[in-house]
Amino acid sequence: MSGSLVFCDFDGTIIQEEIFVELLRRFAPEASERVLPEIYALRRTLRDGLREILGTIPSRCWPAMETYVQENAHLREGFAEFLADLPGLGWSLLVVTGGFARMAELVLASLASRILAVHGLEAGTDGPFLRVWSSWEDGRELVAKAKIFAHYAPDRAICIGDSVTDLELARTCPRVFARDRLADYLDQENRPYLPFRNFHEIGRVLAAGDPG
Protein backbone atom coordinates (compact mmCIF):
# COMPACT_ATOMS: atom_id res chain seq x y z
CA MET A 1 0.00 0.00 0.00
CA SER A 2 1.19 3.50 -0.75
CA GLY A 3 -0.19 6.98 -0.22
CA SER A 4 0.24 9.78 2.29
CA LEU A 5 -0.08 8.34 5.77
CA VAL A 6 -0.01 9.71 9.30
CA PHE A 7 1.19 7.12 11.84
CA CYS A 8 -0.16 8.39 15.15
CA ASP A 9 0.39 7.07 18.65
CA PHE A 10 -2.57 6.85 21.04
CA ASP A 11 -1.52 7.04 24.71
CA GLY A 12 -0.18 10.47 25.60
CA THR A 13 -0.61 11.61 22.00
CA ILE A 14 -4.18 11.31 20.71
CA ILE A 15 -5.30 11.30 24.32
CA GLN A 16 -3.77 13.50 26.99
CA GLU A 17 -3.15 10.66 29.43
CA GLU A 18 -0.57 7.88 29.29
CA ILE A 19 -3.51 5.60 29.92
CA PHE A 20 -1.70 2.35 29.13
CA VAL A 21 0.99 3.14 31.70
CA GLU A 22 -1.72 4.14 34.16
CA LEU A 23 -3.34 0.73 33.63
CA LEU A 24 -0.04 -1.00 34.29
CA ARG A 25 0.57 0.96 37.48
CA ARG A 26 -2.99 0.48 38.68
CA PHE A 27 -3.40 -3.23 37.93
CA ALA A 28 0.24 -4.42 38.18
CA PRO A 29 1.86 -1.96 40.60
CA GLU A 30 4.74 -4.09 41.85
CA ALA A 31 5.87 -5.31 38.43
CA SER A 32 5.45 -1.82 36.96
CA GLU A 33 7.57 -0.21 39.66
CA ARG A 34 10.33 -2.72 38.98
CA VAL A 35 10.24 -2.92 35.19
CA LEU A 36 9.03 0.41 33.77
CA PRO A 37 12.15 2.38 34.79
CA GLU A 38 14.27 -0.23 33.03
CA ILE A 39 12.20 0.13 29.86
CA TYR A 40 12.40 3.93 29.91
CA ALA A 41 16.17 3.72 30.43
CA LEU A 42 16.33 1.42 27.37
CA ARG A 43 17.87 -1.36 29.47
CA ARG A 44 14.88 -3.70 28.98
CA THR A 45 13.11 -4.33 25.70
CA LEU A 46 9.48 -3.39 25.36
CA ARG A 47 8.67 -6.95 24.33
CA ASP A 48 10.13 -8.66 27.39
CA GLY A 49 9.37 -5.90 29.90
CA LEU A 50 5.73 -5.38 28.98
CA ARG A 51 5.06 -9.09 28.72
CA GLU A 52 6.47 -9.53 32.24
CA ILE A 53 4.23 -6.78 33.64
CA LEU A 54 1.07 -7.74 31.78
CA GLY A 55 1.49 -11.39 32.67
CA THR A 56 0.86 -10.55 36.32
CA ILE A 57 -2.60 -9.01 35.67
CA PRO A 58 -5.49 -11.43 36.32
CA SER A 59 -7.81 -11.86 33.35
CA ARG A 60 -10.78 -11.01 35.55
CA CYS A 61 -9.48 -7.41 35.67
CA TRP A 62 -10.10 -6.80 31.97
CA PRO A 63 -13.64 -5.34 32.30
CA ALA A 64 -12.40 -2.98 35.01
CA MET A 65 -9.52 -1.94 32.75
CA GLU A 66 -11.92 -1.09 29.92
CA THR A 67 -14.09 0.91 32.31
CA TYR A 68 -11.08 2.81 33.65
CA VAL A 69 -10.02 3.82 30.13
CA GLN A 70 -13.49 4.93 29.11
CA GLU A 71 -13.84 7.06 32.24
CA ASN A 72 -10.36 8.60 32.26
CA ALA A 73 -9.23 9.12 28.65
CA HIS A 74 -9.59 12.59 27.10
CA LEU A 75 -8.74 13.56 23.53
CA ARG A 76 -5.90 16.00 23.07
CA GLU A 77 -6.99 19.43 21.91
CA GLY A 78 -7.65 19.64 18.18
CA PHE A 79 -7.57 15.92 17.37
CA ALA A 80 -11.14 15.62 16.07
CA GLU A 81 -10.69 18.70 13.87
CA PHE A 82 -7.30 17.43 12.67
CA LEU A 83 -8.82 14.10 11.71
CA ALA A 84 -11.68 15.81 9.84
CA ASP A 85 -9.25 18.02 7.89
CA LEU A 86 -6.81 15.29 6.83
CA PRO A 87 -8.65 13.98 3.72
CA GLY A 88 -8.80 17.46 2.26
CA LEU A 89 -5.06 17.76 2.75
CA GLY A 90 -4.47 14.41 1.05
CA TRP A 91 -3.61 12.37 4.15
CA SER A 92 -5.01 9.29 5.91
CA LEU A 93 -4.42 8.43 9.57
CA LEU A 94 -3.54 5.13 11.22
CA VAL A 95 -3.47 4.66 14.97
CA VAL A 96 -0.36 2.75 16.03
CA THR A 97 -0.38 2.10 19.74
CA GLY A 98 2.05 0.22 21.91
CA GLY A 99 -0.89 -0.36 24.24
CA PHE A 100 -4.11 -2.24 23.68
CA ALA A 101 -5.86 -1.80 20.33
CA ARG A 102 -9.17 -2.42 22.08
CA MET A 103 -8.70 0.58 24.38
CA ALA A 104 -7.98 2.89 21.45
CA GLU A 105 -11.04 1.55 19.62
CA LEU A 106 -13.27 2.19 22.64
CA VAL A 107 -12.13 5.80 23.03
CA LEU A 108 -12.18 6.55 19.29
CA ALA A 109 -15.45 4.75 18.45
CA SER A 110 -17.24 7.94 17.36
CA LEU A 111 -14.34 8.79 15.00
CA ALA A 112 -13.72 5.28 13.66
CA SER A 113 -15.00 6.01 10.15
CA ARG A 114 -12.22 8.57 9.66
CA ILE A 115 -9.40 6.27 10.80
CA LEU A 116 -7.76 3.95 8.28
CA ALA A 117 -6.76 1.30 10.84
CA VAL A 118 -5.89 0.72 14.49
CA HIS A 119 -2.85 -1.45 15.23
CA GLY A 120 -1.79 -2.42 18.75
CA LEU A 121 -1.67 -5.12 21.38
CA GLU A 122 -4.30 -7.84 21.52
CA ALA A 123 -5.27 -9.42 24.82
CA GLY A 124 -6.47 -12.91 25.64
CA THR A 125 -8.49 -13.46 28.79
CA ASP A 126 -9.08 -17.20 28.48
CA GLY A 127 -6.49 -18.07 31.15
CA PRO A 128 -5.96 -16.91 34.73
CA PHE A 129 -3.69 -14.02 33.62
CA LEU A 130 -3.69 -11.73 30.60
CA ARG A 131 -2.04 -13.13 27.50
CA VAL A 132 -0.82 -10.51 25.02
CA TRP A 133 0.36 -10.59 21.42
CA SER A 134 0.29 -8.61 18.19
CA SER A 135 0.81 -9.26 14.48
CA TRP A 136 3.73 -6.83 14.59
CA GLU A 137 5.99 -8.34 17.23
CA ASP A 138 9.73 -8.43 16.62
CA GLY A 139 12.78 -9.21 18.72
CA ARG A 140 12.48 -6.03 20.80
CA GLU A 141 8.89 -4.82 20.67
CA LEU A 142 5.44 -6.34 21.10
CA VAL A 143 4.12 -3.77 18.63
CA ALA A 144 6.98 -2.83 16.31
CA LYS A 145 5.68 0.38 14.76
CA ALA A 146 8.55 0.52 12.27
CA LYS A 147 7.36 -2.88 11.02
CA ILE A 148 3.88 -1.45 10.48
CA PHE A 149 5.46 1.47 8.61
CA ALA A 150 7.32 -0.94 6.33
CA HIS A 151 4.13 -2.92 5.68
CA TYR A 152 2.25 0.14 4.42
CA ALA A 153 5.27 1.55 2.51
CA PRO A 154 3.79 5.06 2.20
CA ASP A 155 4.80 7.52 -0.50
CA ARG A 156 4.71 10.29 2.10
CA ALA A 157 4.61 9.84 5.85
CA ILE A 158 4.68 11.60 9.15
CA CYS A 159 4.65 10.06 12.61
CA ILE A 160 3.33 11.60 15.80
CA GLY A 161 4.30 10.30 19.22
CA ASP A 162 5.42 10.92 22.75
CA SER A 163 7.32 8.01 24.29
CA VAL A 164 9.56 4.98 24.04
CA THR A 165 7.10 2.94 21.97
CA ASP A 166 7.48 5.54 19.21
CA LEU A 167 11.27 5.66 19.14
CA GLU A 168 12.00 3.06 16.45
CA LEU A 169 9.29 4.50 14.21
CA ALA A 170 10.71 7.99 14.71
CA ARG A 171 14.09 6.69 13.60
CA THR A 172 12.45 5.42 10.40
CA CYS A 173 9.86 8.05 9.50
CA PRO A 174 10.96 11.00 7.36
CA ARG A 175 9.06 13.62 9.39
CA VAL A 176 8.36 13.40 13.11
CA PHE A 177 6.19 15.36 15.51
CA ALA A 178 7.32 14.60 19.06
CA ARG A 179 6.69 15.57 22.64
CA ASP A 180 7.62 14.43 26.14
CA ARG A 181 9.93 11.36 26.38
CA LEU A 182 10.15 10.87 22.62
CA ALA A 183 11.44 14.42 22.19
CA ASP A 184 14.05 13.73 24.89
CA TYR A 185 15.22 10.54 23.17
CA LEU A 186 15.48 12.31 19.81
CA ASP A 187 17.37 15.21 21.39
CA GLN A 188 19.88 12.72 22.80
CA GLU A 189 20.35 11.23 19.33
CA ASN A 190 20.46 14.63 17.59
CA ARG A 191 17.54 13.65 15.36
CA PRO A 192 15.26 16.34 13.91
CA TYR A 193 11.61 16.62 14.90
CA LEU A 194 8.88 19.20 15.31
CA PRO A 195 7.56 19.71 18.85
CA PHE A 196 3.82 19.96 19.43
CA ARG A 197 1.39 20.62 22.23
CA ASN A 198 -1.86 19.99 20.38
CA PHE A 199 -3.18 18.87 17.00
CA HIS A 200 -4.02 22.39 15.87
CA GLU A 201 -0.27 22.99 15.59
CA ILE A 202 0.29 19.86 13.51
CA GLY A 203 -2.67 20.68 11.28
CA ARG A 204 -1.25 24.12 10.52
CA VAL A 205 2.05 22.58 9.41
CA LEU A 206 0.30 20.14 7.08
CA ALA A 207 -1.95 22.87 5.68
CA ALA A 208 1.10 25.05 4.95
CA GLY A 209 2.71 22.50 2.64
CA ASP A 210 4.14 19.04 2.20
CA PRO A 211 5.92 17.88 5.39
CA GLY A 212 6.90 14.53 3.89
- Under the banding of pLDDT at 50, 70 and 90, the label for residue 153 is very high
Q: For 13-29, what is the mean pLDDT?
A: 97
**What's the pLDDT at 46?**
95
Residues 6+ apart with CB under 8 A from 162: 9, 11, 12, 13, 18, 178, 179, 180, 181, 182, 183
**What's the pLDDT at 2?**
58
Average pLDDT of the chain to the nearest whole number:
95
The half-sphere exposure of 170 on its side-chain side, counting CA atoms within 13 A, is: 27
Q: Tell me: domain 4-19+72-208, CATH 3.40.50.1000, correct?
A: yes
What are the tens digits of pLDDT across the range 70-119?
999 999 999 999 999 999 999 999 999 999 999 999 999 999 999 999 99
- Apex CA 210: angle with CA 205 and CA 212, to 5°? 100
CB–CB of 174/154 below 8 Å? no
Supply the pTM of this predicted model: 0.95
Q: For 52-78, what is the mean pLDDT?
A: 97
